[in-house]
Structure 1
Amino acid sequence: MKFCCVSEVMTPDRPVFMHGFGARTSKSEGVHDQLYVKAVMLEANKTLLLLTIDALGADRSFVLGVKEALKETFGLEHDEVLINFSHTHHSVFLTGLDTEHRRGAYSIAQEGWTDNDEELDYTEDEALFRFMRDTILRMTEYCRNHLVPGELSIGRGLSDFAVSRRKPDGKGGVTWSPYVDGPIDKELLVMKLTDAAGAVKGILYNYGCHTTSMGPDNMLLSNDFAGRTSRVLEEAYPGAAVLFLQGCAGELKPRKGADGTRFKSMTIAEMEEAGTDLAQDVIRIMEQAPFETVHCSFRTALADPLLYTEQTPAAFYEPIASNPDYNSFYRNAAIRTIQAIKDGTIKDRIPHYISVWKLDDRHRIVSMEGEVSTEYSLLIKKLFAGDTTLALGYTNGVYCYIPTRKMIGEGGYESDCNFFFDMRGPFVPEIEEIIVGQLVKLDLTLAARD
């Protein structure tokens, strides 16, 4: 096996309207820590490219634009490239040049939230896409020309870094409160890349948690706790590239932000303390856990099923659109949804990328588009019990939350906020069966290639 790691700064050089918190009403006011795009290329029987981007996410206009450029330039197929987003709420949401696949309703240049997408100018967004695309192509070229022989291995441990924000209300529903007894995948997985001399050259750590230590009051660009965690690891392992692989974190927040029955917005110092804590968990695995060697024989597959929503009527959103107690983000989203239902442009189904990378017979990476619930991570690892599976959310795009059947029945933010994204209503419960069925089909397809 051969590999190469490389990173580039992607921090905007001017104030931008950060995405992630609807309560924000103005552009960024500086930089706390640099934002990065990082790449790892793995070459064995075939070549794989894993990208991590310090952004809230991206739509298919961005993802397809990057993947098509990689295919045209290097022959990498879409299933051979993973783009994982840290989901920091102190960065931007990325779009591309293809307006048909643009999610809309947000631009890095906007001054505030709007109920009319036609008011937004995407010139700066498209310039950022070109910069990101060209940077990724340059990084990929570098990797291709600087591959070195080495070994890939995986270690595992547990971390109590995250906590659920869906606390049962005793009436069949949930409240937005810390819930330490909630279902959560606590597994922290570390992929280690060592060169022929045994030196650590790459650390990829996989854990699921919203990068929202700080809240909407923070106006500085930052990768939140993940930025701090990676910096601590870079200091502990000089010469090693460090990448955060965001897991299935739809309903998870940093435990340090739990304050009784609510979550507080951490200060920068508190955020960095939290990031250091997670880094120490990774270091314990690096220093104490047994690592399993991956006998690299790569097989990849990608599915893109449709997920369907309920047929919610426009009248359901009218109380939100007219209620001054909601902020402008909520009201504008409701206004857009009502209008889209009336003019027939509302979405009642969306495509959903599901990817499986089998690294060898016992090690795989399963990744999904969107803000995937930790319950899917638990389900996936149960489905592939006995193997080592990294479960990634926020990969190959971030469109909306992906709740389980149980979560849809309970309601709550992660199930009910689809109207933010111009979707007609909550998902139908059967999306869980669609996702699991597609995963099983993908794995069987790869097994048949053995």
Structure 2
Amino acid sequence: MKFCCVSENMTPEVPIFMHGFGARQLKSAGIHDPLYVKAAMLTANKTLLILTIDALGSDRSFVAGIKDALKEAFGLEYDEVLINFSHTHHSVFLTGLDSSSRRGGYSIAQDGWKDNDEELDYSADESLFRRIRDMIVQMTDYCRGNLIEGELSLGRGRSDFAVSRRRPDGDGVAWRPYYEGEIDKDLFVLKLTDRTGAVKGILYNYGCHSTAMGPDNMLLSNDFAGKTSRVLEIAYPEACALFLQGCAGELKPLKSADGDKFRSLSIAEMEEAGADLAADVVSVLENAAFRTIDGPFRTKLVDPLLYTEQTDASFYDDMANDPGSNAFYRSAAKRTMRAIHDGTVKDRLPHYISLWHLDDQTRLVAMEGEVSTEYSLLIKKWFGPLTTMTLGYTNGVYCYVPTRKMIGEGGYEANCNFFFNLRGPFVPEIEDIILGQIVQAEMALREKPAK
């Protein structure tokens, strides 16, 4: 086994309009902590590349642009690269050069939310894309030239860091702490050590929205995950720490729960939360039984379509025409109504699902979008005795991905598709599509000889 880890600062150098909270109307006012792109290259029978980016997410324009550049420069195939986003709400949503696969509705240069995409100038976004693309190519080239012999091992623990924000209220669900809700509390740690046993890389996988702070924070930040990684890199000074965001669609930091509601934490409180998660990771590193992973690596990427209901434009009338409603909601409703009328609205959405076999007993399932923790539980139940890590927010973040149960309950995660130029809520059968595709991918990999 050979590996290499590296990180680079990607923080925008000028004020930008952050994405993640519709209540914001102004550009960023400074920097609390740097935003990073980090890379971990793993080489056994084949080469895998994991990229983590401190951003809300990206569309297909960005992801395809990065993966095309890596394939052209190094021959890395789409299925051999994972791009995982921390989903911090104090950063940017990324797009690329291909306007046909752009999600739209947001630019880092905008000044407030717009009713029409034509009002947005994406030149600053495209410049940022070129900068990050070239940075990633350089980082990957560095990794290829600086691979070292060592060991990849996996440890597993549990953490109570997150809590569900979907509380049943008799008529559906309310946006309130649901302390009793079943969530995936697995905390996985992939540890990279050199031949002397020195820790060189820490890849920690846990699912929780990076929203300890709220819309009143105007400083660029990777929220709690930034603090967690900094603490780990101080504790293990030779290591690069990478946060692998899990399936966190409806999960928030428990520290932000205040009785029957959530509140926005101060910067100091957010950093306390990040340090708490770091302590959980250190506990795994120091106390868990680690198992060596040495391949063979097998990979598969599938891209099924997820379908929405055929919601009529009139459904959005009240929201679009209510001057007292949230400006972000109002703009999104107007864009959706216009798209339905002119035929540009989307009623189906491609959805990347990556399946990696790290060895015969270890699976990594990485899915596009804001995937519910319920999918994580369902996937792990299906894989049974195998060790299974689940990631959301990977290879793009277009919208929420709810389960059949969540769609039936309604609530924010099930009903906000109109934010993203989608015609309506997803049909319940998307759960069957997603789980079925994962099962088929697993069966195909079991039959496929490792290269």
| TM-score normalised by L of structure 1 | 0.99
> After superposition, where does 1:298-317 map in structure 2 within 5 Å?
298-317=297-316
Deviation sequence 1:95-138 (CA, Å, 0-9, x none): 00000000000000000100100010001000000000000000
What's the counterpart of residue 8 of structure 1? 8
Deviation sequence 1:167-204 (CA, Å, 0-9, x none): 00123x10000001112000000000001111110000
Q: Distance in 2 between matches of 1:79 and 1:226?
A: 26
Deviation sequence 1:224-245 (CA, Å, 0-9, x none): 0000000000111111010000
Deviation sequence 1:310-341 (CA, Å, 0-9, x none): 00101100011112232111000000001111
| Shift >6 Å, 4+ stretches | none
Report the Cα offset of residue 273 of structure 1: 0.3
Tell me the C-alpha RMSD between the 2 structures: 0.6
What's the counterpart of residue 341 of structure 1? 340
Q: Distance in 1 between matches of 2:325 and 2:162?
A: 28
What's the counterpart of residue 176 of structure 2? 177
Q: Distance in 2 between matches of 1:175 and 1:361?
A: 42
What's the counterpart of residue 124 of structure 2? 124
What's the counterpart of residue 414 of structure 1? 413
Report the Cα offset of residue 421 of structure 1: 0.1
What fraction of aligned residue pairs are identical, expressed as a percent?
72
What's the counterpart of residue 18 of structure 1? 18
Deviation sequence 1:336-387 (CA, Å, 0-9, x none): 0011111111100000000001011001110000000000001111111111
Report the Cα offset of residue 222 of structure 1: 0.1
What's the counterpart of residue 350 of structure 1? 349
Contact 2:295–2:360 under 8 Å retained in 1: no
Q: Distance in 2 between matches of 1:287 and 1:325?
A: 53
Q: Please list every run of 5 or more consecutive structure 2 residues that lacks an aligned counterpart in the other structure.
A: none
What's the counterpart of residue 263 of structure 2? 264
Question: Which residue identity is paired with 1:150?
Answer: G
Do residues 193 (structure 1) and 192 (structure 2) align? Answer: yes
> After superposition, where does 1:69-88 map in structure 2 within 5 Å?
69-88=69-88
Question: Which residue identity is paired with 1:141?
Answer: D
Q: Distance in 2 between matches of 1:166 and 1:314?
A: 27
Q: Distance in 1 between matches of 2:311 and 2:324?
A: 22
What's the counterpart of residue 27 of structure 2? 27
> After superposition, where does 1:100-139 map in structure 2 within 5 Å?
100-139=100-139
What's the counterpart of residue 376 of structure 1? 375
Contact 2:44–2:294 under 8 Å retained in 1: no
Question: Which residue identity is paired with 2:259?
Answer: G
Q: Distance in 1 between matches of 2:157 and 2:185?
A: 8
Q: Distance in 2 between matches of 1:170 and 1:103?
A: 35
What's the counterpart of residue 61 of structure 1? 61
Question: Which residue identity is paired with 1:230?
Answer: S
Q: Distance in 1 between matches of 2:223 and 2:244?
A: 14
What's the counterpart of residue 238 of structure 2? 239
Question: Which residue identity is paired with 1:154?
Answer: L
Report the Cα offset of residue 295 of structure 1: 2.3
Q: Distance in 1 between matches of 2:109 and 2:443?
A: 45
What's the counterpart of residue 295 of structure 2? 296
Q: Give the number of aligned pairs.
A: 449
Q: Distance in 2 between matches of 1:419 and 1:288?
A: 46
Task: Give SS of 2:417's match.
Answer: helix
Q: Please list every run of 5 or more consecutive structure 1 residues that lacks an aligned counterpart in the other structure.
A: none
Question: Which residue identity is paired with 1:381?
Answer: K
Q: Distance in 2 between matches of 1:181 and 1:261?
A: 13
